[in-house]
Amino acid sequence: MAKPHLLLVAAVLLTCAVGSLSLPACPPCGSTPVPYPLSTAPSCGDPSYKIRCSGGALLFDSSNNTYSITSISPATQRLTVATSSFLPNTCIAADLPTIGFQLNASAPFNITSSNTIFYLNCSDSILSSPLNCTSSSLCHVYSNNSATGAPCRNTPCCAFCAGGSTTAYRIRIREEGCRAYRSFVNLDPGLPVDRWPQPAVELLWLLPPEPTCNAQSDCGSGSTCGPDRNSNGQLSRCFCNSGLQWDPVDGVCALECKDPDGCGKDRTALITGLAVGLGVALIAALIGFFIYRRHQLIKLEQDRLTREREEILNAGGGKSAKVFTEKEIKKATNTFAKDRLLGTGGYGEVYKGILDDGTLVAVKCAKLGNTKSTDQVLNEVRILCQVNHRSLVGLLGCCVELQQPLLVYEYIPNGTLLDYLQGGKRELLGWKRRLSIAHATAEGLAYLHFSAVPPIYHRDVKSSNILLDEKLNGKVSDFGLSRLAHTDMSHISTCAQGTLGYLDPEYYRNYQLTDKSDVYSFGVVLLELLTSQKAIDFNRPPDDVNLAVYVQRLVEEERIMDCVDPLLKEGASTLELETMKALGFLAVGCLEERRQNRPSMKEVAEEIEYIISIATAKPAEE
């Protein structure tokens, strides 16, 4: 009887929580709905998300201009605005005097990476920028095939995708630089220009905080009206009571759950009820029963684990993976001889193995009897069975007969990227080789995020998890902490795991994992490649112990080249020095505090590929 009672109580509490807040959405503007938290008046929505309704049309006020809102998508928290037109028969934007499209960096809006932006009518100095200013750039396609863009023909122009760093807040034009711009949302470059969408800029708004209130009567029973510390006491908000937490997606105070994997599984009350009802005698009988059946349960559990591992290995399209026998594994590792031990970690040990056909393999063994270690190795099997990419360490198979799970994967002989950067071998990694390793790693992570179904978040990207083969090509390894992401979810909620110095700062605050968490960690790896310094180093001054913080400070002081590895700068050409600076700025873009401002891994891989093309280009005099 206890279980239905508990479910009823939980249902009642959940119902109370869901109904505890009433969000004051604004009325439609003409025929256009205004979803929460967008606000057209002080009495509705969230004042921080202010837009205007004028004459039945919605308007967006930037920090320097006003633009018409052409569409709103509350499901994705995005809106598009029509950008400034050209002055008649010129290649000059109407908002040139106000320096183009400018957002307030402290406002909850930013430009998304779905925007393809053209800078037009530029000075020759723009041609030396890291943007795509070549003759085949899309901006030339636009100016040569569009009546509107015709005045821009035969003038220097550049194209790029927005998102990350300062491009998240502005499209800057000026007299001494570029005097016009065009932005297209979700542009398909394969279409003819006359079928391109109308010029517009897509903006993303951040998920809203708790709704504002003037008195407790504005809040429900599950929340309390209190001052908002971030507004210096100018606003009050309905903060959720103890045991509840704000859900910005559904706009309610919901039941708090700090460990989603364990939610709904706490049976303490049930066990207590059974103990009271049945008494000490029944407990003693159960103990005796379990002792009697112990050996049978152990055997059943071993059989279950064997079947589970076989099912995992055969799922997800891992057709090339093999089920190794206990005899094969012991023979390959010389019965796990000490001289075959490659390394030891929190999950267990890795041994070098030699198969009968001479193939070298690495055998990862979970710690015997350690549940967490077993789960991590089994999770890595699940992940690697579903992926196959040249930049990822390949799975060869696993053994299902031994008590602890074993993972067999390709042997990468030359150690890790960290070994080279910190182990006295960094002279073997020239600038172009480092760029190649960065590009391979970015491609591997982009494959996990965009090609795997469902997408995979690595969760532990760091230089010690990037292995180098005999040609010093990079391969991403160690998927023990990785997770599969459902396509209808924007994040995974989990307890914070990973490595200090590489973890997304937002991960510590809300325990929400996204693909942008891997982007942040990869940004730290880029800084390691650029500086040959450790992610965390207590030999640096106290404020610079964290490498990401240290480099961000140098960027703010316009001294980014001060942190570049002197070995790389020695004898480097001017072009190589510029690409070092470009990679540094890309890394800082990956480290943006707001996840929405970071580029995707696919964009990062494309940007590194572009930097490589510049670094390997022949000088003009040749």
Question: Residues 592, 595, 600, CA angle at the centre, nearest 5°?
Answer: 90
CA–CA separation, 499 and 132 (whole Å): 36
Of 46, 460, 478, 515, the catalytic one is 460
CA–CA separation, 143 and 213 (whole Å): 51
Please, are residues 162 and 111 in contact by the beta-carbon 8 Å criterion? yes
CA–CA separation, 247 and 509 (whole Å): 15
Helix 574-590, helix 601-615: angle, nearest 10: 170
**Residue 495 CB coordination number (10 Å):** 10
Token output for 366 = 């979970």
The one-letter amino acid at 29: C
CA–CA separation, 512 and 483 (whole Å): 12
Sign of CA dihedral 459, 462, 465, 470: positive
Helix 268-314, helix 371-384: angle, nearest 10: 40
Token output for 470 = 């005999």
Determine whether the annotation assigns residue 364 to a binding site: yes
Euclidean distance between the first and the last CA atom of the chain, given in angstroms as a whole number: 86
CA 14 to chain centre: 31
CA 210 to chain centre: 25
- 339 among known catalytic residues: no
Beta bridge partners of 182: 118
CA–CA separation, 586 and 563 (whole Å): 15
Token output for 383 = 């992940």
**Residue 548 CB coordination number (10 Å):** 21
Please, are residues 482 and 393 in contact by the beta-carbon 8 Å criterion? no
CA–CA separation, 541 and 280 (whole Å): 62
Distance (Å) of CA 386 to CA 306, 372, 456, 477, 612:
19, 22, 10, 14, 30
CA 507 to chain centre: 10
What are the φ/ψ torsions at residue 365 (nearest 5 degrees)?
Answer: -115, 130
Longest dimension (CA), the chain: 95
Q: Which residues make up each annotated binding site?
A: 364
Residues annotated as part of the active site: 460
Annotated binding site for ATP: 364
